[in-house]
Amino acid sequence: MGIFSKELSAFVTYLKIEKAASPYTIEFYQADLESFFVFLHEEQIFNLEDVNAQIVRLYLTRLYNRHFSRNSVARKISSLRSFYKFLERDHKVQANPFGNIDLPKGHHTIPGFLYDAELEKLFSVSDLETPLGQRNQTILELLYATGMRVGECTAVQLEDIDFALGLLLVNGKGRKERYVPFGRFAAIALETYIEDGRKRLLDRSGADTSTLFLNAKGKPLTARGVRLVLSKLVEKAAMTIHLHPHKMRHTFATHMLNEGADLRTVQELLGHEHLSSTQIYTHVTKDRLRHVYMSSHPRAKNDNE
């Protein structure tokens, strides 16, 4: 509500400048806080300092009564905990009422990923004689080779690529940098695109930019543009899957673990701060192992199969 607009504005500025949070993350924080402010207004609470454990329990009850999922409730608690931690730091409140609230354990959705045959089909549809075909192939190869987020992909600069060592400098969340290797197929796609297709795209704008991926007009490609590229590749391959950049990230992680990579290495390559974020991919590999076992072992099959 309006009475908390000053605090909300200060928190959003903190997220942008100090935390370097993505617009997507900020949007969720803002929505969660505004929803909480509506609740406070309904309860005639006009001072953030007045929020205590009893008010928090009432709010959580309200959320569950409205049938929010455990994952949604956990996210809202996390947002509010961060907000009050910020207020504490700035001495706007004395204590964080969300500090000791346990996050409800939600159901982990097993991330979707592509199988080898699906990848091969996607890798075969781009016209490598055209600038956009070369660019699209490079996007696909690089997303699969590195497991980058879409925002990290669009932020890649020419100087971030070390062909001699086969390494890419990735600028991740919170301005954290990491080096990620890339293999032969990605290297070939990169060299072809940089030496040919990218130069032809750049000629269309006459712009002076070191951004790796350009759009059809020769300007830096956006995250939305990358999503559109992947959708068009799926359409061209006559496939029925839904492909988004994060699915390529899921595929990278899943295939690495399936081929024997250890969890810590995959965590570092993905740029995950906590190992728990990476562990969800072990559910994929376990699910795959169980599926293969149950469908292959003679004494594992059900009688009605």
Percent of the chain with pLDDT over 90: 62
Q: What is the CATH number of the domain that holds 285?
A: 1.10.443.10
Regarding whether 216 and 85 lie in a shared domain, the answer is no
Classify burial at 170, counting beta carbons within 10 Å of its beta carbon; exposed 0-12, middle 13-18, buried 19 or more.
Answer: buried
41-60 tens-digit pLDDT: 999 999 999 999 889 989 99
Residues in the chain: 305
Regarding whether 164 and 82 lie in a shared domain, the answer is no
Q: Which tokens in the block code for residue 173?
A: 């969340």
Is 301 within the bounds of a domain?
A: no
Give yes or no for residue 218 having a pLDDT over 70. Answer: yes
Regarding whether 158 and 253 lie in a shared domain, the answer is yes
Regarding whether 226 and 81 lie in a shared domain, the answer is no
Is 145 within the bounds of a domain?
A: yes
CA distance 15 to 22: 9
Rg (CA), the chain: 23
Q: What is the CATH number of the domain that holds 16?
A: 1.10.150
Q: pLDDT class for 1, splitting at 50, 70, 90?
A: very low
290 residue type, one letter: R
Regarding whether 78 and 140 lie in a shared domain, the answer is no
Regarding whether 258 and 149 lie in a shared domain, the answer is yes
Is 12 within the bounds of a domain?
A: yes
Regarding whether 125 and 59 lie in a shared domain, the answer is no
Q: Which one has a higher pLDDT value, 284 or 235?
A: 235
Regarding whether 70 and 149 lie in a shared domain, the answer is no
Per the DSSP assignment, residues forming a β-bridge with 178 are: 170
249 has catalytic annotation? yes
Is 298 within the bounds of a domain?
A: no
Regarding whether 79 and 120 lie in a shared domain, the answer is no
Alpha-carbon dihedral sign for residues 298, 299, 300, 303: positive
Q: Catalytic residue among 246, 247, 283, 288, which?
A: 246
Mean pLDDT, range 118-134, rounded to an integer: 95
Is 232 within the bounds of a domain?
A: yes
Q: Which tokens in the block code for residue 65?
A: 């009564």
Regarding whether 74 and 10 lie in a shared domain, the answer is yes
Q: Which domain-ending residue is among 35, 70, 89?
A: 89
Q: Catalytic residue among 149, 198, 250, 255, which?
A: 149
Mean pLDDT, range 190-219, rounded to an integer: 95
Regarding whether 128 and 85 lie in a shared domain, the answer is no
Is 110 within the bounds of a domain?
A: no
* Per-residue pLDDT, 300: 72
251-281 tens-digit pLDDT: 999 999 888 898 999 999 999 988 878 888 8
Regarding whether 267 and 127 lie in a shared domain, the answer is yes
Look up the domain containing 236 and give its range. 116-293
Q: Catalytic residue among 16, 92, 173, 204, which?
A: 173
149 has catalytic annotation? yes
Looking at the structure of the chain, the number of domains it has is 2
101-124 tens-digit pLDDT: 876 665 555 678 898 889 999 999
57 has catalytic annotation? no
Give yes or no for residue 302 having a pLDDT over 70. Answer: no
Q: Catalytic residue among 84, 144, 193, 281, which?
A: 281
